[in-house]
C-alpha cells in the first residue's frame, strides 16, 4: 500500500461513524474469524464461505456491517469530487439511474443528486444496523424473520455505490493509488453476495463486464 493511500485510509475518513462489534460477543468473534481469513491471504472465494457450525444470519450480519464500513470509507475518499454539480443524478453511466425511496419523506422513487442519495443511503443503513430488532447484538436473541430481506436490500443498495464510484469516479480512485484496495473490496463483496444469493443478477448488471474480467 502506498504512503498516500495509507494516509487516506488511516485517517478513518468514513462518511459516517463506524458500527463496531462489542468485544466478547459472538459477533465480535465471527468478525475476527472473517478478518483472520482475509489477513491470512485466503482466497476470497473461500474466505466468504460459512464457517462450519456457524449461523448464517450471524455470518451475514457481520459482513453487512463490515461492507457498510468499508464502502463508506471508499465513498468518503472520493466524496470531495462527487458534488451536486458534477453528479446531479445518482447514476451508473447513461443506462442506469438510481432513484431514492424510503418510508418517510420519499415515498415514491425520486431522482436525486449522487451526494444526496449517498447521504440518505448511509443514514438509512445506519438506522437498520443499529436497530436491535433487526440486528440483535445479544447472543441468544433471535433474528427477525425479515432479517435476510433487510440484509439483501442493504447489500443491493451498497452495490450502487460501487457502480457510481467505478463508472464516474475511478480516475480519482486511481489518482489516490486506491485502485487495488477498491478492487479487493469489490471482489470480496461480489463473492459474498453470490455465495449466498443476496443480490439479484439484474442489480449486478451495470458492472457485469468488469466483474467477468475481475472475478472469473
Least Cα distance to 74 among 126, 150, 5 occurs for 5
Taking alpha carbons only, the member of 161, 154, 160 closest to residue 15 is 161
Query: Measured in whole angstroms, how far is the alpha carbon of residue 210 from the centre of its chain?
Result: 18
CB-based burial of residue 78 (10 Å sphere; 0-12 exposed, 13-18 middle, 19+ buried)? buried
In the chain the first and final C-alpha atoms are separated, in Å, by: 24
| Ligand-binding site membership of 87 (annotated) | yes
Short-list 129, 183, 182, 117, CA closest to 154: 129
Any binding-site annotation on 82? yes
Residue 188 in marked binding region: no
Write out the three cell numbers for 66.
463490515
Q: At which residue does the C-alpha cell 446531479 appear?
A: 88
Annotated binding residue 52: no
Contact by Cβ (8 Å): 31, 95: no
Query: Residues 107, 101: contact at Cβ < 8 Å?
Result: yes
Residues within the annotated binding site for Zn(2+)?
A: 82, 87, 164, 169
Residues within the annotated binding site?
A: 82, 87, 164, 169
Amino acid at each position: 500500500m502506498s504512503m498516500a493511500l495509507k494516509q487516506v485510509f488511516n485517517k478513518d475518513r468514513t462518511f459516517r461513524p463506524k458500527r463496531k462489534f462489542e468485544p466478547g460477543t459472538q459477533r465480535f468473534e465471527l468478525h475476527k474469524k472473517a478478518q483472520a481469513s482475509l489477513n491470512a491471504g485466503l482466497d476470497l472465494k473461500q474466505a466468504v464461505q460459512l464457517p462450519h457450525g456457524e449461523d448464517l444470519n450471524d455470518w451475514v450480519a457481520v459482513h453487512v456491517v463490515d461492507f457498510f464500513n468499508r464502502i463508506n470509507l471508499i465513498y468518503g475518499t472520493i466524496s470531495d469530487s462527487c458534488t451536486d454539480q458534477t453528479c446531479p443524478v445518482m447514476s451508473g453511466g447513461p443506462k442506469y439511474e438510481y432513484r431514492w425511496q424510503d418510508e418517510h419523506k420519499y415515498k415514491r422513487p425520486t431522482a436525486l443528486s449522487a451526494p444526496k442519495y449517498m447521504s440518505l443511503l448511509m443514514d438509512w443503513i445506519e438506522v437498520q444496523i443499529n436497530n436491535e430488532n433487526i440486528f440483535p447484538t445479544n447472543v441468544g436473541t433471535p433474528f427477525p424473520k425479515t432479517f435476510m430481506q433487510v440484509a439483501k436490500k442493504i447489500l443491493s443498495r451498497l452495490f450502487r455505490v460501487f457502480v457510481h464510484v467505478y463508472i464516474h469516479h475511478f480516475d480519482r480512485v486511481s489518482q489516490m493509488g486506491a485502485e487495488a484496495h477498491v478492487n479487493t473490496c469489490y471482489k470480496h463483496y461480489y463473492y459474498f453476495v453470490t455465495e449466498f444469493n443476496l443480490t439479484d443478477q439484474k442489480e449486478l448488471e451495470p458492472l457485469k463486464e468488469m466483474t467477468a474480467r475481475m472475478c472469473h
